[in-house]
Structure 1
Amino acid sequence: MMRRNLIGQVRDAILDAAPLEPLVSVRDRETAVRLLWEAIDGGDAVRKVVCLAAAVELRASISDELWASCRIAANDSGDAALFRLYRSARGRSFVRVSD
């Protein structure tokens, strides 16, 4: 149940950033990163990782700082499903970062 809920939240976040998806523009990618920064500022671990996964799906360029913040949030949450979502997003990212 939790996994479906997280995936639904990712889908909603994608639509928040790119309402015409799958026609994704540079502006949509920028919006996804802006929403990720807002989630980082908000402090909620689930929202951080959900926005990260959405940004990855939209193929946004994600800074090392954002990756690190989301990794820490997912790890510190103690939620195995949330950490798997983070690892999945990292694996799908076209921008490879080192952990």
Structure 2
Amino acid sequence: MKRMLGPTRAPLKHWLFHWPSLLTCLLCVGVVLATADLRATDRIEAQRREVQRLLSEAQARLDLVVESTFSPAAGLVVLIRVDGGDLGFRAQSSGLRRG
């Protein structure tokens, strides 16, 4: 009598026959995923550097504007006006009136 392979052994033998191509496929998928992750990381870092550069430029422009526009006395006058306006707004919004 001829012995037949069971249903579980035949597919296993079939997959073992193709192990080099399966291994190559798995390695390719791994390389693609690693490359995609590396590109995403590089893109995020490039965006972070760009935002940092833009923030540095904005801070430098703001420093120049503040330096050229406000003198210490004018800055104090602006603070007093803003503070007084803020207090007046709070008094009106809470129903209190200044006397």
Which TM-score tier does this pair reach, normalised by the shorter chain? under 0.3
Higher-helix-fraction structure = 2
TM-score of the aligned structures, taking structure 1 as reference length: 0.21
Task: Report the TM-score when normalising by structure 2.
Answer: 0.21
Q: Which has the larger radius of gyration?
A: 2
